[in-house]
């Protein structure tokens, strides 16, 4: 399942979420729907597959920067 990175245009909150089919993505902070999907190079690097924990953020500083 793809994990996309979004930025909320309403509050500026940046987050990653797992997007299922036709599921509407809302900001976890303000519940806003004015989101911009960012290109995340963290989830799928293409080089090493499997054994990569996409939920923990891994060693990507961009992904693990949100708190």
Q: Does residue number 34 form part of the binding site for Zn ion (CB under 5 A)?
A: no
Q: Does residue number 35 form part of the binding site for Zn ion (CB under 5 A)?
A: no
Q: Among 5, 6, 16, 27, which residue sits at the site for Zn ion (rule: CB under 5 A)?
A: 27
φ, ψ (nearest 5 deg) of residue 23: -85, 135
8 A C-beta contact, residue 29 and residue 35: no
Q: Of 20-28, 38-46, 53-61, which part binds Zn ion (CB under 5 A)?
A: 20-28
Binding site for Zn ion (CB under 5 A): 8, 10-11, 13, 27, 29-30, 32
């Amino acid at each position: 399942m793809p994990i996309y990175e979004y930025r909320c245009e309403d509050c500026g909150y940046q987050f990653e979420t797992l997007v299922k089919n036709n599921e509407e993505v809302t900001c976890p902070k303000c519940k806003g729907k004015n989101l911009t999907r960012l290109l995340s190079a963290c989830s799928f690097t293409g080089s090493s597959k499997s054994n990569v924990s996409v939920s923990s953020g891994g060693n990507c500083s961009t992904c693990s920067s949100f708190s």
